[in-house]
Amino acid sequence: MATPTQHHKRRRLSPALHDVADELLFLILDRVAADDPRALKSFALASRACHAAEARHRRLLRAFRADLLPAALARYPTVPRLDLSLCPRVTDASLAALSTAPSVSAVDLSRSRGFGAAGLTALVAACPNLTDLDLSNGLDFTDAGAAEVAKARRLQRLSLSRCKQLTDMGLGCIAVGCPDLRELSLKWCIGVTHMGLDLLALKCKKLKILDLSYTMIVKNCFPAIMKLQNLEVLILVGCNGIDDDALDSLDQECSKSLQVLDMSNSYNVTHVGVLSVVNAMPNLLELNLSYCCPVTPSMSSSFKMIHKLQTLKLDGCQFMPDGLKSIGKSCVSLRELSLSKCSGVTDTYLSFAVSRLKNLLKLDITCCRKITDVSLAAITSSCPSLISLRMESCSLVSSEGMHLIGKHCSHLEELDLTDNDLDDECLKALSGCRKLSSLKIGICLRISDEGLNHISKSCSDLREIDLYRSGGISDVGVTHIAQGCPMLESINLSYCTKITDRSLRSLSKCIKLNTLEIRGCPMVSSAGLSEIATGCRLLSKLDIKKCFEINDLGMIFLSQFSHSLRQVLTLSSVNVIIAIPCFTIVLITY
Amino acid sequence: MESGLGRSSETSLKASPSMASNTSRNTDLDQQGGRFNSMDQSFFARPGQSFPAFPPLFGVQSSSLYLPDDNEAKIGNQFEPNPSLNNPTVDWDPQVMLSNLSFLEQKIKQVKDIVQSMSSRESQVAGGSSEVQAKQQLVTADLTCIIIQLISTAGSLLPSMKNPLLSSNPAVRHLSNTLGSPMGFGSSCNQRPSSNNEVTIPDITKTPDYEELMNSFNTATQGESDELMKCQNSCGGEGSEPIPMEDHDVKESDDGGEGENLPPGSYVVLQLEKEEILAPHTHFCLICGKGFKRDANLRMHMRGHGDEYKTPAALAKPSKDSSSEPAPVTRYSCPYVGCKRNKEHRKFQPLKTILCVKNHYKRSHCDKSYTCSRCNTKKFSVIADLKTHEKHCGRDKWLCSCGTTFSRKDKLFGHVALFQGHTPALPMDDVKVTGASEQSPDSEAMNNMVGSIVYNFAGSSSDDIPNLDMKMADDTRYFSPLCIDPCFGGLDDFTRPGFDISENPFSFLPSGSCSFEPQNGDS
């Protein structure tokens, strides 16, 4: 008797689902997935119609085993993205087994090895609409493979980072074969020279983003690159072949489209070369000169020729006297300024600079050890709209400075106060930053559960909290955080020696938690870990080094439930680390 | 007479080293038997006597003269009756005669001027013996010219004399050579308008006047419709039938003179004969007749002929010239009529050196007789080109999709940049190797995978999945890349209760389709 009614119900439900437009249905499913990522599974199990709807809704297929790809593609015929980054080994045979999948437009093979040119031939043949291909870390990737990739004529985005065997020949094939290319990464492609780049610039006129970091390029590749009319982003990190002479060869205003230039770690560039860059690229929005050269006043005043400059990164630079001051004078439109690990940043210069930079949204003064409350007063008073402030290890800043932050910077979303002189009172003041989503208060030995209570009450949007070596924290504080911040995704409790399984039990209620670091917490045991494993099903990174109470039992729970785990840092004292679908295990042996 | 002529030839030879090689030709001629001896005697006294006096200067100026190997053949040609000469009346042209005579007049006047200048300066100049010598030589040369021109003019007048004159042509030339008179008439009598320039020795052209005249003469002889030429044609033996002027604009790469833009009158144009160009040797030993390519080799060779050749002076590299006058700019013309390098071409581009002439002529107008032994396709006419090619032959590793090969990568990339749709191609063997090795497993796997879709998972699964897995198809552990069971041993009692079977959305699905983990749907 029961069977007919069930049948009847199913029949009634299916037409109802059919009546709903796919767009609406997908919106509902999006909402459902945002609340509970595993809800989609349940939905797909409800009926055939739901199953089909879920199949249509899926945008990404992240396979654990490449040899089962054909079946997966049969289950999800409309999925556009194929992520094989969890398959460390993808053989030519498994790629050859792919049947035609016209829906697939993006394939990620960045962490896979074991396939060659033949596999790529099959992949390109199976995915006629391929527009996005990531072949990073392809140490076996050769020119023959590049010739096969070149057959994907619709390719728009291609990453070949660390394909060290690639030469101009392969790049030439790709340049001729993929005229629609918009984004190309040739990072660490040390075999590529100006000849290949010349051809690339000639054939791929639509190129917008070009990454040439750590390549051996020299001066003579510039003319071709500068001819790219649509180039917006040029990454030249660590290109030691680029020096002042090379930059001097740039013509005045040679590239009007370029918006982002990253030349960090280019040791052979001095202020002379920077001046040439500034003259050549007047429309830059972002300039990264980290770890390049000392910042002189003339250099920083030349920045005023880039009217629209919004982001300036000068990490690790040595500031000459008045160098920072003239940044304040010349870059008034600046929204993001990064000065981490700079020497020569003093209260006088910094407070002068920030007083002119009214639009500043992000400021990084990590390890600027000379600054005091004076600077902080200037920052908080002149940049009230600041959303990100990173000031790790600014040890001269006292708790008064922290109070100023809490009082004035109510828009702060990201705050890094690691290794500062912080106490519970400061945290109470900081709870005025209600929009905080990331808070790093590691190595603040004076904070306690009470401070965390203030944070948890006001910062309900908190997604990331770092309590590394904040030894005053106990289970009570962690419980406050876990209860007050349900959106928590990442928590670092390493070396908080007081915490026990109770903390983990409370954290297991944060279902979005994906990163948990409890290194060196001796009181945490397998029981706590099992709570995490069953509660936080999205957990992907776990650090349980030096948690000597955790044994095989905890690992078994992990293997059973944490299917998202991708990285576990553990010790050899744990014997069973198997059966977790696909993750990287880092074993530390004594 | 003998002493006078001997002296003049001696002096001329001192100033004009080219004479040495001329004499070597004389030697050749003499050696060929006394065919012309009678005529020789009629024009000058015993040319053979003169050369022992100047062996040390032998073959000094290599560029001045390239002797044809096959004198015999050429002379034979000269004896061939020219059809145009059969009717003497046709050849007789008063206009030509007139121009010839006026030319002679001009020439005589010039010689007179030179002699006058010599006599006027004789009192002042004490130490200018070399200059005097040069002038003497100049006078001698001019006089020879005049004589020859006179003879040729007369020859055209007297039809009965034609044949004897013809036969005497080499001798006439001989005379001119011996006397150090390279100028036009001697050789032009031989109907070799090209070779008149070959012996235009720079050293002779001492006075600006003379040079001017030379140039004018050169241009005159170059003139296509020059009547003088016609006259010579008529009197000479070697029928030079008019060759239609075509533009044989052969593409030349490194024949020299490409880049320079000398104004047409500013240099002396020399033209060698084909035979001279193709001659293997340019320097000949006067004593044994052995030929050499290099003057230095000849000098080394000469040491074997006696102690007099071992003196430092004899062995030293002859200096360009001792006189203060700079040598006039000399350029060369290709004897191939219609070639752009031929002086009669409208856009004449001269060749810079003798070597350029040789290479140009061989490359452009000769058969390509040297074939590369490796590729058996490339042919060359200059052996050096073959050697250069052989160095790189088979190394054309840069390949375009159109099949063109390049020895240099930048050339390939230039080619690819130029042509739409062409792409760099990898060497075939590389591609073949990878392609072939993967081919069979691929198709096999394809079949397997097709099977797996049809629920036949166990049978089709790859080797690393034990059939054991089939039993636990509903188990989540099934999705692990590793096989759990051997490791877990007795853990089943623990894992089973904890396992929530409803978690698996695919429990009702064919096992083969559950190949992914459907978490993080939109991440």
Give B305-347 pLDDT, tens digit per residue: 888 888 888 778 776 555 556 677 888 888 888 888 888 888 8
Distance (Å, rounded) from C-alpha A286 to C-alpha A306? 10
Q: Shortest CB distance from A582 goes to which of B426, B450, B481?
A: B481
- Distance separating alpha carbons of residues A345 and A370, to the nearest angstrom: 7
Q: Could you give phi then psi for residue A318, rounded to 5 degrees?
A: -95, 125
Q: Is the pLDDT of residue A342 over 70?
A: yes
Task: Output the average pLDDT for chain A.
Answer: 88
Residue-level pLDDT at A360: 93
In sequence order, which residues have a C-beta less than 8 Å from that of residue A460 and are 6 or more positions away? Answer: A484, A485, A486, A487
Please say if the pLDDT value at position A350 is more than 90: yes
Least confident interval from A500-504, B190-194, B399-403? B190-194
Q: What is the pLDDT of residue A1?
A: 39
Strands (E), A511-580: 515-517, 541-543, 567-571
Element (DSSP H or E) covering residue A211:
strand A209-211
Q: Please tell me the predicted confidence (pLDDT) of residue A438.
A: 96
Q: In whole angstroms, what is the distance from residue A291 CA to residue A264 CA?
A: 6
What does the pLDDT read at residue A454? 94
pLDDT of B121 reads 64
CA distances from A63 to A70, A72, A392, B513 (A): 11, 8, 39, 11
A579 near A553, Cβ under 8 Å?
A: no
What band does A180 get if pLDDT is binned at 50, 70 and 90?
very high
Task: Note the pLDDT tens digit of each residue in B60-91.
Answer: 343 334 444 444 434 434 444 444 444 444 45
The verdict on A322 touching B (C-beta cutoff 8 Å) is no
**Is the pLDDT assigned to residue B172 strictly greater than 90?**
no
Q: Considering CB atoms only, which of B438, B453, B521 is closest to A118? A: B438
Mean predicted confidence (pLDDT) in A52-73 = 88
- The count of structural domains within chain A is 1
pLDDT higher than threshold 60 for residue B368? yes
CA distances (Å), A331 to each of A285, A354, A356, B341, in order?
11, 10, 9, 67
Kindly list the residues from chain A whose CB atom is less than 8 angstroms away from the CB atom of residue B519: 37-38, 62, 537-538, 563-564
Of B409, B505, B517, the CB nearest to A64: B517
pTM over 0.80: no
A412: left (phi over 0), alpha (psi -120 to 50) or beta: beta
Please check whether residue B282 is in contact with residue B293, taking contact to mean a CB–CB distance below 8 angstroms. Answer: yes
Strand arrangement of the beta sheet that strand B424-425 belongs to: B405-406, B398-400, B424-425
Determine the pLDDT at residue B324: 58
Query: Backbone dihedral region of A159: left (phi > 0), alpha (psi from -120 to 50 degrees) or beta?
Result: beta
Q: Which two tokens stand for residue B388?
A: 């250069």
Quickly state the pLDDT bin for A262 (edges 50, 70, 90).
very high
In terms of average pLDDT, the best of A84-93, A525-534, B199-208, B389-398 is: A525-534
What is the distance of C-alpha B149 from the center of its chain? 34
Tens digit of each residue's pLDDT (9 = 90 or more) over B265-283: 778 888 888 888 888 787 8
- Identify the CATH number of the domain in which residue A212 sits: 3.80.10.10
Asked if A71 lies within 8 A of B452 by C-beta distance, the reply is yes
CA distance A115 to chain B (A): 10
Q: Tell me the ipTM for this assembly.
A: 0.80
Q: Estimate to the nearest angstrom the gap between the alpha carbon of A589 and the chain centroid.
A: 30
Assess contact for A295 and A323: CB atoms under 8 A.
yes
Would you mind telling me the total number of residues written for chain A in this entry?
590
Would you place residue B490 in the very low, low, confident or very high pLDDT band (cuts 50, 70, 90)? very low
Range(s) of the domain holding residue A181 = 131-293
Q: Token pair of B103, please?
A: 């030319």
Q: What's the pLDDT at B260?
A: 62
CA distance A108 to A138: 12
Most confident of A327-331, A413-417, A540-544: A413-417
User: What's chain B's average pLDDT?
Assistant: 58
Q: Is A408 contained in some domain?
A: no
Torsions phi, psi for A538 (to 5 deg): -95, 5
Residue B151 identity: I
Residue B252: closest CA among B347, B371, B343, B340:
B340
Question: Which value, in Å, is the radius of gyration of the alpha carbons in chain B?
Answer: 42
Chain segment B245-266, per-residue pLDDT in tens: 444 444 444 444 445 667 777 7
B111 Cβ partners below 8 Å, 6+ apart? Answer: B139, B142, B143, B146
Is there a domain that residue A198 lies in?
Answer: yes
B493 touches chain A (CB under 8 A): no
Tens digit of pLDDT for each residue in A157-177? 999 999 999 999 999 999 999
Q: How far apart are CA B413 and CA A484, in angstroms?
A: 63
With cut-offs at 50, 70 and 90, classify the pLDDT of residue B396: low
**pLDDT band at A475; cut points 50, 70, 90:** very high
CA angle A66, A72, A74 (to 5 degrees): 130
CA A57-A61-A64 angle, to 5 degrees, is 145
How far apart are the C-alpha atoms of B72 and A12, rounded to whole Å?
Answer: 116
Least confident residue range of A510-519, B21-30, B155-164, B312-321: B21-30
Identify residue A147 by its one-letter amino acid code.
Answer: A
Which residue from B172, B177, B144, B159 is spatially nearest to B235, judged by alpha carbons?
B159
Chain B contacts of A60, Cβ < 8 Å? 520-523
Check B445 against A97: CB less than 8 A apart. Answer: yes
Residue A88 lies in a domain: no
CB-based contacts of A176: which residues, under 8 Å, 6+ apart? A150, A199, A203, B416, B421, B422, B423, B424
Which of A223-227, B128-132, B326-330, B410-414 is the least confident region? B128-132
Q: Rounded mean pLDDT of B195-209?
A: 42
In this complex, do A63 and B516 lie within 8 Å of one another by their Cβ atoms? yes
Non-local CB neighbours of A553 within 8 Å, separated by 6+ positions: A526, A530
Alpha helical stretches, state H, B192-292: 195-198, 208-222, 227-235, 274-278
**Rounded to a whole number, what is the distance in Å from the CA of B318 to chain A's nearest CA?**
49
Q: Which residue of A has its CA nearest to B481?
A: A581
| Residue B93 pLDDT > 80 | no
pLDDT at A474 > cutoff 70: yes
Q: Which residues of A touch B442 (CB under 8 A)?
A: 92-93, 96, 118, 122
Rounded percentage of chain A residues whose pLDDT exceeds 70: 94
Partner-chain residue, chosen from B426, B445, B517, that has the shortest CB–CB distance to A144: B426
Q: Using a CB–CB cutoff of 8 Å, tell me whether A147 touches chain B.
A: yes
Quickly tell me which residue has 């519970």 as its tokens.
Answer: A424
Cα angle vertex A309, ends A308, A312, to 5°?
175
Instruction: Indicate the range of A86-100, B313-327, B406-420 predicted with least confidence.
Output: B313-327
Query: Taking the alpha carbons of B164, B169, B170, B174 in that order, is the dihedral positive or negative?
Result: positive
Q: Give the B window 442-461 contacts with A, CB below 8 Å.
A: 442-446, 448-450, 452-453, 461
Closest CA to A247 of A231, A265, A216, A271: A271
% of chain A beyond a pLDDT of 90: 63
> Is residue A171 in a domain?
yes
Any domain includes A209: yes
| DSSP classification of residue A284 | -
Token readout for A350 is 């910094």
Q: Using CA atoms, how far apart are residues B204 and B180, in angstroms rounded to an integer? A: 9
In chain B, residues with a C-beta closer than 8 Å to the C-beta of A67 are: 449, 461-462, 515
Residue A477 lies in a domain: no
The pLDDT of residue A104: 93
* A-chain residues near B513 (CB < 8 A): 71-72, 74-75
For the residues A71-80, what does the mean pLDDT come to? 90
Domain contains A110 = no
Predicted confidence (pLDDT) at residue B168 exceeds the cutoff of 70? no
Mean pLDDT of B49-64: 40
- Kindly state whether residue A170 falls inside one of the protein's structural domains: yes
**B177 vs B9: CA distance, rounded Å:** 9
Indicate whether A279 pLDDT > 60. yes
pLDDT of residue A260: 95
Q: What is the pLDDT of residue A571?
A: 64
A22-35 and A39-46 helices, crossing angle to 10°: 140
Which of B479, B473, B505 has its CA nearest to residue A52? Answer: B505
Cα-flanking dihedrals φ and ψ of residue A438, to 5°? -135, 125
Q: Which residue has the higher pLDDT, B468 or A529?
A: A529
Beta carbons within 10 angstroms of residue B305's beta carbon: 14
* pLDDT value of position B325: 63
- β-pairing, A209-211 vs A183-185, is parallel
